[in-house]
Amino acid sequence: MSPIRMRARENSIIALGIFCLAAAACHRHRPAPPPPAGPEALLADVVDPWTWRRGADPADPQAAARQHAIEDIGPFERVRSGDPTSPLVNTNADYWTRLVGVAWDRDVDLDLEDVPVDLDGDGRPDTTVTRHVHAKGGVLANPELFGLTRTPDDPRGRVGRVSVSTGVLGLREPLGADGKPTGQIGMTCWLCHGEANPADGQIVLGLPGVKFDYGLLLATAAVLDDKNAEAAAERRRRGFPPGRLVRARLLLAGPGRQDLTGEFGLDVTVPGVHSLRYAGTARVRQGTHGLVNPISVPAILAAPGMALENWSGSESSRSPWLEKNVGLIGGQDGEAARRALMFDLRNLGTLGLQQDSFPGLLWADAITGHAQISAKALADVPAWYAAASVRAMLAVRFARPPVNAAAAARGRALFAERVAGRIANRQILKEPPRSPAAADLDGPVMAPIDPTQPLSARVAVRCADCHSAAPLETVVALADHPPPLGRCSHCHRAHPRLSEWASIRAASVDPRQLPISALPAGPTPAAEVAFCEGCHARHRDFGPLVYSSSRLFPFDADGDGDAQLAPERDRRAGGIGTDPWLAFDVPRSQWPFSVPLAVLTSSGRRARVAEAGASTGAAWVRVAPLLGLAASAPYLHDGSVPTLRALLDPPARRPAAFPLGQAGFVFDTRLPGNGNQGHDFGTNLTDAEKADLVEFLRSL
């Protein structure tokens, strides 16, 4: 779903006061608390439908969590704020059904002939769109056309606790306060982040919805019909393009690509938007200016294993607001709790936008310091969006496709040991490390990947150096929890120079650091770990292995301050090299757009601030998790490579165009924002080695 643009690094003004509330409960005769003031007063109009208690939860907690996660349709709100006699409406379903008018049950007739579309914002059309899509009975009568996942075990019309099944995953019809179906349909998380596993056909909550054609579904909206006089007038009044042009742009996205609301413009062009009752909504809702290129649905949601959320790493588990509010989650491992809270921010903020539901936006604002609400509200609101139940579903194991065990073992060895390429010695830290020298810095900052080499260097990398793990906080015995992919050096590039190793010499090296390769460890993974274990008998728990270090790499690898206008220079400088228009919404007239960054000598606790800073193009990309990779095609952050085998070919040999879905869409990599270049790692392997590596990747 579309990202909410929150600045997590701003100072928080929240004080949870949970213990104070508990202490106050001991006073029998305390006066009644005053009614909430400010934005929290709006929460009085919000009702959680799960409090209506229709039926009993399943006895099995896992089954109960799954039911809650699947059924959740978000809270209800009063139509007229502050009027307790006003009817309740589920804002999610009311938004998509009445205000937007997605063609859930009415015939779809989309006919576009040679509609010109400017994709790169230079004022000239890049392509034309000709599409004819006809679907009698609408979206729900033609789920395969829209890439929806049928739920045969939950057929249409089956009544649940708070909603009614539509027969497809991710779309639910809310039950009203009277227990009767409302006749409206809203979206849940699983519309974009759930699908039938190709390995066994079982529906997995958290798999990417790679078949789901979100752009096609949005294009059916009545509000984009230029014959709709009210909607057309509203778009003209706001200076937005006609619905026909927006539909053409949406149809260029294709299955498995999201983040389209900026181009759709629904949240700022539909009269009667519910969430605008909270003033802070206007700050986070996107307009339709600039360039917002669709991006591929991230791989399987794996919150416990990710220290950064989203392709661009817009939320980090090191953010200060997490420390201030981590008590909302609890748990034994502080880092795991921070990641859970970070995921809740992503979930509630996104749902606040997608479901036209201001409590999610208010909570996200409060948690990051843009608004102030009580400790009770901070604890209550996540339950309205099934936050805990949604997270519980992401830990469910799923079947992998059958693989050749011997080939997969050879592929794993290649993944862990073979040098796959050389990259620029630059990484972005969303938040500075917790070191005294970096204490006064406000992220993001830049740091070298290898602190023993300058930023201008290029460093050799293995697949596992980036696609490994992001450790948690609990310290455990290294002997019982060895590095998951075999080597300490998959994560650690350097070591502080110690006096007992004074005989070791390395030229042109920071005197405080030694390259790991200079240490007297043996050549094998086991020897390396045994050597390190001699001094480091304990290590942070590696946590859930999702095959991502959660590192951020800048597109601007040559450091010239430009990430978009000359990507070929960045590729030559050792950049990741993939298409740099990752949700990049700065208007073309402002290119090149760069941001100044402080530079640290390393990414660790001993980091020092370098004398010279840096300027970098304002776009970077997170190392993608590889868990569930076999169910995640097409690949790269823009979905431009159809298969894993094609990803291991040089870009010039990758398919220039390929069909997706059942609605006649063809992905054209030659269009701006769709480029299939970059990520050349593994392209020099032999055909047999590539086959082995693919077999290993399919097993993840």
Q: Burial letters for 319-354: b for 16+ Cβ neighbours within 10 Å, e otherwise? A: bbbbebbbebbeeebbbbbbbbbbbbbbbbbbbbbb
| Better-predicted residue by pLDDT, 520 or 204 | 204
519: confidence class by pLDDT, cuts 50, 70, 90: confident
Residue with the two structure tokens 């169910």: 631
Percentage with pLDDT > 90 across the chain? 65
| Residues facing 424 on adjacent strands | 458
Per-residue pLDDT of 104-152, as tens digits, reads 999 999 999 999 998 888 889 999 999 999 999 999 999 999 999 999 9
Are the beta carbons of 289 and 700 closer than 8 angstroms? no
Residue ranges of the domains in the chain?
Answer: 18-316+344-388
Among the residue ranges 236-245, 311-320, 435-444, the one predicted with the least confidence is 435-444
By C-alpha distance, which of 151, 100, 153 is closest to 143? Answer: 151
Q: Burial letters for 189-218: b for 16+ Cβ neighbours within 10 Å, e otherwise? A: bbbbbbbbbebeeebbbbbbbbbbbbbbbb
User: Strand pairing of 76-78 and 88-90?
Assistant: antiparallel
For residue 56, the tally of other CB atoms under 10 A from its CB is 8
Among the residue ranges 190-199, 258-267, 520-529, 571-580, the one predicted with the least confidence is 258-267
**Does the pLDDT of residue 590 top 60, yes or no?**
yes
Residue 361 confidence (pLDDT): 94
CA 395 to chain centre: 17
Residue 303 confidence (pLDDT): 76
Residue 267 confidence (pLDDT): 52
Residue 336 confidence (pLDDT): 93
CA-to-CA distance for 226 and 118, rounded, in angstroms? Answer: 20
**Does the pLDDT of residue 54 top 90, yes or no?**
no
**Does the pLDDT of residue 439 top 60, yes or no?**
yes
Per-residue pLDDT of 625-665, as tens digits, reads 999 999 999 999 999 999 999 999 999 999 999 999 999 99
**Does the pLDDT of residue 694 top 90, yes or no?**
yes
Identity of the highest mean pLDDT range in 29-38, 215-224, 312-321: 215-224
Residue 230 confidence (pLDDT): 87
* Region 345-368 average pLDDT: 92
CA-to-CA distance for 384 and 646, rounded, in angstroms? Answer: 43
**Does the pLDDT of residue 263 top 60, yes or no?**
no
96: confidence class by pLDDT, cuts 50, 70, 90: very high
Q: Phi and psi for 107 in degrees, rounded to 5?
A: -60, 140
Q: Dihedral sign, CA of 300, 303, 308, 314?
A: positive
List, as own/partner pairs, every contact residues 434-439 make where C-beta atoms lie below 8 angstroms and the sequence separation is at least 24, other chains included: 434/318, 434/605, 435/604, 435/605, 435/606, 435/607, 437/600, 437/607, 437/608, 437/609, 438/600, 438/607, 438/609
CA-to-CA distance for 410 and 688, rounded, in angstroms? Answer: 10
Q: Phi and psi for 113 in degrees, rounded to 5?
A: -125, 115
For residue 106, the tally of other CB atoms under 10 A from its CB is 16
Residue 640 confidence (pLDDT): 97
Residue 53 confidence (pLDDT): 76
CA-to-CA distance for 208 and 628, rounded, in angstroms? Answer: 9
CA-to-CA distance for 308 and 29, rounded, in angstroms? Answer: 47
- In a 3-state reduction of DSSP, which class is residue 17? coil
Among the residue ranges 264-278, 397-411, 550-564, 586-600, the one predicted with the least confidence is 264-278
Residue 33 confidence (pLDDT): 54
Q: Burial letters for 479-507: b for 16+ Cβ neighbours within 10 Å, e otherwise? A: eebbbbbbbbbbbebbbebeeeeeeeeee
23: confidence class by pLDDT, cuts 50, 70, 90: very low
372: confidence class by pLDDT, cuts 50, 70, 90: very high
Q: Phi and psi for 513 in degrees, rounded to 5?
A: -135, 145
Residue 12 confidence (pLDDT): 24
**Does the pLDDT of residue 531 top 80, yes or no?**
yes
**Does the pLDDT of residue 565 top 90, yes or no?**
no
| Better-predicted residue by pLDDT, 82 or 415 | 415
Per-residue pLDDT of 285-298, as tens digits, reads 656 666 667 889 88
By C-alpha distance, which of 627, 601, 628 is closest to 612? Answer: 601
Residue 437 confidence (pLDDT): 64
By C-alpha distance, which of 174, 186, 184, 166 is closest to 351? Answer: 186
- Residues whose CB is less than 8 angstroms from the CB of residue 125 and which lie 6 or more positions away in sequence, other chains included: 116, 117, 118
What's the mean pLDDT when you consider all of the chain? 87
pTM above 0.85, yes or no: yes
Residue 626 confidence (pLDDT): 95
In terms of Cβ atoms closer than 10 Å to its own Cβ (0-12, 13-18, 19+), residue 246 is buried
CA-to-CA distance for 267 and 73, rounded, in angstroms? Answer: 18
264: confidence class by pLDDT, cuts 50, 70, 90: low
* Region 672-680 average pLDDT: 94
